[in-house]
Amino acid sequence: MPHAPARPTLRLAAVLALAVLTVGACASGPSQPERTTLTQEPTVEVAKAAPPAVVVPPRWPLTGEAADAVVDRPAIAVKIENPREVRPQTGLDQADVVWEQVVEGGITRFVAVFHSQVPAEVGPVRSIRPMDPAIAAPLHGIVAFSGGQQAFVRELGQSGVQLMSQDGGAAGFYRKKGVMPAWHNVYGTPTTWWENADAGHSASPPAQFAFARRADQSTVLTAGTPATLLDLRLSGYSRPRWAFDTASGTWLRSEGDTPATARSGTRLAARNVVALRVQLVDSGTKDPAGNPVPETVLVGTGKGTVVSGGKALEVTWSKPATDAVLTLTGPDGSPVTLAPGVTWVELVPASSGSVTVS
């Protein structure tokens, strides 16, 4: 009887099954690691508030004082006389800067510069002198005067300022009858002169001194020495004195021992008094009475004293050209800043005058 075909053994079946599994695994590729899905939160930027704007108030260029608004108009430099018989003068208490200069006979004359305030009237208005271009030219504004030698008038006109001359027929001048003799009674109205400023002289002046933001930050206050009296000798005739007034923080002017006031009754006062030691030379001309006319030399350099806020500081002044602004430097050579406010400049003859601080 024939044998039946042989059946695969269990071992063979197991081998075949393993082969099938191996092939299947190879066909499906290598196993992949399990992936984790991350959800990223959106970035939210928090807006930062802008810092508050710093509002810097405008400042009047000739005083350094802050104001709600600064009117754009030229500076007006007015020649005002100062012999005893004309005191008190009108308008000096409203000037931003006043320069005092020695003229013939030892008397003094003022160059009062108006810009931030508008006086109704100023005077007595008198004639110009040879040093006036060096004072007025850096202002690039108007000079109001009555009279002057033709050479002086010509030089002043060539310095770049606009002339408002009473003798030349400019508007805004008049004589006050019964006040003084004819040569002492010319007065003027600054509003009229401003109205007649030409296009080339209608802008505000550049600063003539460097000012600190606050009085206690000025160089004189931070580097000066205590002082309460500035005693000046400009000539045998003119001896102004300045005394510090603690209550007002200003220096009060006296003519000798007599308190100096304006016609309004206001005491003449300044935040800063700048006493410059200058050379006084003969201009080579004479006044109508035959007196030699002196000239203050302002182009160059020299020593000076500044008082402000109850202190005094020795300085060096420098002015390289007629139309250049005069600069002040301290003992260390750094620029000097003044306290905001009115400034008086005293031109003290170096050879015959004196400056005493106490």
Reading the chain (358 residues) residue by residue, the pLDDT tens digits are 444 444 433 333 333 333 333 334 334 444 444 444 445 555 556 556 667 766 778 999 999 999 999 999 999 999 999 999 999 999 999 999 999 999 999 999 999 999 999 999 999 999 999 999 999 999 999 999 999 999 999 999 999 999 999 999 999 999 998 777 778 999 999 999 999 999 999 999 999 999 999 999 999 999 999 999 999 999 999 999 999 999 999 999 999 999 999 999 999 999 999 999 999 999 999 888 888 899 999 999 999 999 999 999 999 999 999 999 999 999 999 999 999 999 999 999 999 999 999 9
CA atoms within 13 A on the CB side of 232: 31
pLDDT of residue 182: 78
pLDDT of residue 1: 41
pLDDT of residue 34: 47
Residues 6 or more apart whose CB falls under 8 angstroms from that of 139 comprise 74, 75, 77, 113, 161, 205, 206, 208
DSSP 3-state of 224 = coil
Residue 35: what residue type?
A: R
pLDDT of residue 25: 39
Residue 11: what residue type?
A: R
- Locate the DSSP E strands across the chain: 76-81, 97-102, 108-114, 142-145, 162-165, 173-175, 186-188, 225-226, 229-233, 240-245, 250-255, 258-259, 269-270, 272-286, 292-297, 300-308, 311-319, 327-329, 343-349, 354-357
The Cα diameter of the chain in Å comes to 178
Task: Name the residue among 138, 102, 59 with its Cα closest to residue 275.
Answer: 102
Distance CA 75, CA 142 (A): 6
Residues 6 or more apart whose CB falls under 8 angstroms from that of 331 comprise 223, 313, 314
Residues 6 or more apart whose CB falls under 8 angstroms from that of 115 comprise 60, 61, 62, 73, 74, 75, 76, 96, 204, 205
pLDDT of residue 46: 59
Q: Which residue has the tokens 């430097």?
A: 329
pLDDT of residue 290: 85
pLDDT of residue 43: 57
Q: What is the pTM of this model?
A: 0.85
Task: Name the residue among 123, 84, 110 with its Cα closest to residue 270.
Answer: 110
Q: Which residue has the tokens 């400019």?
A: 170
Q: Which helix (H) or strand (E) holds 151?
A: helix 150-158
DSSP 3-state of 155 = helix
pLDDT of residue 186: 97
DSSP 71: -
